[in-house]
Chains A and B, each alone.
Chain A
Amino acid sequence: GQNIDQPTEMTATEGAIVQINCTYQTSGFNGLFWYQQHAGEAPTFLSYNVLDGLEEKGRFSSFLSRSKGYSYLLLKELQMKDSASYLCAAGGYQKVTFGIGTKLQVIP
Chain B
Amino acid sequence: DVKVTQSSRYLVKRTGEKVFLECVQDMDHENMFWYRQDPGLGLRLIYFSYDVKMKEKGDIPEGYSVSREKKERFSLILESASTNQTSMYLCASSQTRQGSGDTEAFFGQGTRLTVV
Contacts and interface: CB of A to CB of B under 8 A. Distances in A.
Q: Is the interface of B mostly helix, strand, loop or mixed?
A: strand
Interface residues of A, number: 24
A30 B101 contact: yes
B104 A94 contact: no
Q: How large is the interface on B (under 10, 10 to 19, 20 to 34, 35 or more residues)?
A: 20 to 34
B107 A43 contact: yes
B31 A94 contact: yes
A92 interface: yes
Nearest to B30: A94
Interface string B40-64: 1111110010100000101100000
Interface of B: 31, 33, 35, 40-45, 48, 50, 56, 58-59, 90, 94, 96, 100-102, 104-110
Interface of A: 2, 8, 30-31, 33, 41-45, 48, 50, 87, 91-101
